Structure 1
């Protein structure tokens, strides 16, 4: 018996307006700063994250508990990209952060009679404008875009079931960024961001902290920790989708 189920919803019209407004705000900040300053700086960061995933993912009436260690995640990774861009002038700045992960896993139950394959693909993008209050402190405001898709295949002696879903949403996000030198070529960076507020997610929390060692004016290595908490639920019945997940772990980056 084959039971195909496909769940797919997009919040593009409203989401595009929010994301477009945030992007326009960031570009306006960059343009205003570029017009008034000649010392606009640009830097990119490619980093590796060793995440632990835990929480609840729900499709329709079914909730699934997720608990994956960093080693489980690395075993399941089929593709990934993590990168950041930062442009900054004397006061205004722009930050773009992109995280993409494609995870695939297999398992079995009931003495090997029931077998399953699961694929989870997630893309998270954050665009923020920053405004410097002091040499060490900046405010951040922007938008977070999250796209999550998954596919499940269950096979057994009497049944085969395929189920897939795709959901994307946008959240406003605000926060504060703190940077301070530690002496010599060392420095510390910490950031806290909150978002959602019922617009997309009920709440999104992002906390990061890192220590940097600068080799020269254009190259440094960052070692830190990152924590992301998504609390999102939408729809009901078969159209219900829940993504209540925490993703956290050490991160190493090169800029």
Structure 2
């Protein structure tokens, strides 16, 4: 026990001497260099530039759109005026797919939007034959935008850019069985509109935010004029999940020969966004 106590006491007495030696080495450049050569410096890893890492989000939405305008999508039938509420369209709706996606890398954003609907209204021709009339109408809209973040702060983000909006309409008229034979006629049309787009995202405090999106285009490249406006109030449910509710309007004025599609679609929109 005595030998162990003496050893411990000796170590305690040597500790102040060791501390003094380290202080002396720190004030001696030559000796400090020798210490650095013996003990390698510890290098922390570089910080990860999260702003330049790709971020992805996907949105599923439901657009309760009404339809108003003038259409002649089955020439040589004459153009007709259209004024349909969403509940009128819903009665003949066969199916719909609506979704959007975004990839962000730094200040750049790459957006895609898909909307597909099919409606099949039916009726009957007057007269002795009593033939049934069915019109199957399919509509596909695809849009891709590239946006650049012009301004970014804790309260407001502003983006501007350009994109393309692709339209495809496919209509088929069937008259049967009152006539001696089935009468069927189909017409389809496709075109692409260049658009100039912008977006503003305002944070309202807490989990709430406001998103405004707009674009305008056509310029007689595809349609004479097309424009779109979307406004949604967003609630950030979690880090990955956001709920959206708002209003959307989409207008297009396209004509090619006897084919005419000059309509305005507008109505409330509900969506959910998941961020990866």
TM-score, structure 1 as length reference? 0.79
Q: Does 1:81 align with 2:103?
A: no
Query: Equivalent residues in 2 for 1:45-84 (5 A)?
Result: 45-58=59-72, 59-61=74-76, 62-84=78-100
Query: Equivalent residues in 2 for 1:192-211 (5 A)?
Result: 192-211=214-233
1:220 counterpart residue number: 242
Q: Deviations over 1:210-238 (max 9, x none)?
A: 00000111101000111011100012xxx
- Over 3 Å counting, the alpha-carbon distance change for 1:190 and 1:125 in structure 2 is same
2:118 counterpart residue number: 102
Q: Does 1:169 align with 2:168?
A: no
RMSD (Å), alpha carbons: 2.0
Number of residues of Structure 1 aligned to a counterpart in Structure 2: 217
Runs of 4+ in 1 over 4 A off after TM superposition: 155-160
Structure 2 residue ranges without an equivalent (≥5): 1-48
Counterpart-to-counterpart distance in 2, 1:210 and 1:157: 50
How far off its partner does 1:109 sit?
4.9
Query: Equivalent residues in 2 for 1:173-192 (5 A)?
Result: 173-192=195-214
Residue of structure 1 aligned with 2:134, choices 105, 117, 120: 117
- 2:87 aligned counterpart, secondary structure: helix
Residue of structure 2 aligned with 1:246, choices 245, 248, 264: 264
How far off its partner does 1:57 sit?
1.5
More strand by share: 1
Counterpart-to-counterpart distance in 2, 1:36 and 1:222: 26
Counterpart-to-counterpart distance in 1, 2:197 and 2:54: 22
Counterpart-to-counterpart distance in 1, 2:195 and 2:85: 28
1:132 counterpart residue number: 149
1:232 counterpart residue number: 254
Query: Equivalent residues in 2 for 1:9-20 (5 A)?
Result: none
- 1:133 aligned counterpart, secondary structure: strand
1:91 counterpart residue number: 107
- 1:134 aligned counterpart, secondary structure: strand
Counterpart-to-counterpart distance in 1, 2:103 and 2:88: 35
Q: Which moved more, 1:88-97 or 1:37-46?
A: 37-46
Counterpart-to-counterpart distance in 1, 2:165 and 2:126: 41
1:154 counterpart residue number: 175
TM-score, structure 2 as length reference? 0.74
Counterpart-to-counterpart distance in 2, 1:210 and 1:53: 20
How far off its partner does 1:247 sit?
1.2
- 1:216 aligned counterpart, secondary structure: coil
Structure 1 residue ranges without an equivalent (≥5): 1-34
